C-alpha cells in the first residue's frame, strides 16, 4: 500500500514539473519543436551566421574584380562629373509605351512616391508630415524635365550629389530604373503622349 502511494506521489511530482516547463506561451520564444531533423536546415541559409567566412555572414559581396552573371558594372561616381558623364553616355532603352509606363508607375509608387508625391511635385507624405525636413525635388519642374535620361538614372542608382536622396541601386533593378525614368519624363503620367 505504502509503495503504491509513493509511486503515485512521485508520478504527480514528475507531472507537475512537466507542466511547469511547458504550456507557457512566451512571445519572445518561438515555441517547442519535435522531430526537427528536417525542420532546421543543414545548409547555411541566406541570413544565417556562418563560421566559414571571416565576417561571419553567409551572404558575401562579389570577389573584387569579378562580375556576376547578368549584371553590368556601374562605373559612374556620385559626383557632379560622374552624373554628367552618365547623362552623356547612358541611353534609355525604352520609349514611353503603355506597358513601360505602367510598370514605371508601379515602381515609382513603391520607391519614389513617399518623398516626391504621387504627382511628382515633391509633396510626398514623408515631407508633408514634417519628418523629412529637406524639400524633395519637383520632378515636373524644368530642372528635372530638361535633364538627360541618363542623369536621372544616375541619381536613382547612386543618389543625388547633394546627399539628400539616397542610392536606390540596391533596391531597384536597372530595367525598372529606366522604366521609372521614362515615367518621370512622361510627366509622371501613364498617358502615352
Partner 1 sequence: MQTKLAYAQKINRLLALFLLLFIYNISSVAQKSPEENFKTCSACHTIGKGRLVGPDLKGITEKFEEEWLIKFIQSSQTMVKNGDERAVKIFEEYKIPMPDNNLSEDEVRALLEYIKNYDPNAVAQTKPAVKANPNFLENNFSYLPKNTKGIFYISIVLLLLSIFDLAVTKFLKKAVAIHIMIIGSTVFLISMVVYQEAVNLGRYQGYEPDQPIAFSHKVHAGENKIDCQYCHSGAMESKRSGIPSANVCLNCHTVIKSGTNTGTKEIAKIYKAIDEGKAIEWVKVHNLPDHVYFSHAQHVNAGKMDCTECHGDVANMGRIQQVNDLSMGWCLDCHRKKQVDFDNKYYSNQFKKYHEEIANGHRKGVTVAEIGGQDCAKCHY
Q: What is the DSSP track for 85-141?
A: HHHHH--------HHHHHHHHHHHHHHTHHHH-TTSSS--HHHHTTSS-SPPP-TTS
Measured from the CB of residue 101, what is the shortest distance to partner 1 in angstroms?
Answer: 18
Residue among 46 and 191 whose Cβ is closer to partner 1: 46
**Nearest residue to 165 via CA among 180, 176, 179, 154:** 154
| Positive/negative CA dihedral, 46, 51, 53, 55 | positive
Contact flag: residue 21 with partner 1 (CB under 8 A): no
Binding mask 155-184 for partner 1 (x = CB under 8 A): ----x-xxxxxxxx-xxxx-----------
Long-range contacts formed by 129-138: CB under 8 A, 24+ apart: 134/164, 136/165, 137/165
| Binding flag, residue 8, partner 1 (CB under 8 A) | yes
Nearer to partner 1, 33 or 66 (CB): 33
Candidates 63, 68, 131, 146; binder of partner 1 (CB under 8 A) is 131
Among 113, 152, 155, 156, binds partner 1 (CB under 8 A): 113
Residue 141's closest CA among 84, 188, 173, 181?
Answer: 188
Return the residue of 22, 60, 89, 91 that touches partner 1, per CB under 8 A: 22
* In the complex, least distance from residue 143 CB atom to partner 1, rounded to whole angstroms: 6
135 binds partner 1 (CB under 8 A): yes
One of 85, 114, 140, 190 touching partner 1 (CB under 8 A): 114
CA 29, CA 22: separation in Å to the nearest integer? Answer: 12
Count, residues in the chain: 193
Binding site for partner 1 (CB under 8 A): 4-5, 8, 12, 15-16, 19, 22-25, 27-34, 36, 38-42, 46-47, 49, 55, 57, 79-80, 109-111, 113-114, 125-126, 129-135, 137, 143, 159, 161-168, 170-173
Amino acid at each position: 500500500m505504502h509503495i503504491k502511494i509513493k509511486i503515485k506521489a512521485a508520478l504527480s511530482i514528475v507531472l507537475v514539473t512537466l507542466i511547469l516547463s511547458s504550456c507557457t506561451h512566451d512571445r519572445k520564444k518561438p515555441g517547442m519543436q519535435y522531430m526537427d531533423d528536417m525542420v532546421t536546415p543543414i545548409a547555411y541559409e541566406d541570413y544565417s551566421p556562418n563560421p566559414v567566412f571571416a565576417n561571419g555572414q553567409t551572404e558575401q559581396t562579389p570577389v573584387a574584380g569579378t562580375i556576376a552573371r547578368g549584371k553590368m558594372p556601374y562605373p559612374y561616381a556620385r559626383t557632379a562629373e560622374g552624373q554628367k558623364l552618365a547623362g552623356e553616355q547612358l541611353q534609355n532603352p525604352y520609349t514611353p509605351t503603355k506597358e513601360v509606363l505602367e510598370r514605371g508607375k508601379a515602381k515609382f509608387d513603391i520607391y519614389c512616391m513617399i518623398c516626391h508625391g504621387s504627382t511628382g511635385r515633391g509633396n510626398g507624405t514623408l515631407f508633408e508630415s514634417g519628418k523629412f525636413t529637406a524639400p524633395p525635388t519637383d520632378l515636373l519642374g524644368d530642372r528635372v524635365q530638361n535633364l538627360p535620361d541618363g542623369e536621372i538614372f544616375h541619381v536613382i542608382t547612386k543618389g543625388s550629389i547633394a546627399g539628400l536622396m539616397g542610392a536606390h541601386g540596391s533596391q531597384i533593378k536597372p530595367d525598372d530604373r529606366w522604366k521609372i525614368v521614362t515615367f518621370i519624363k512622361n510627366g509622371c503620367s501613364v498617358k502615352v503622349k
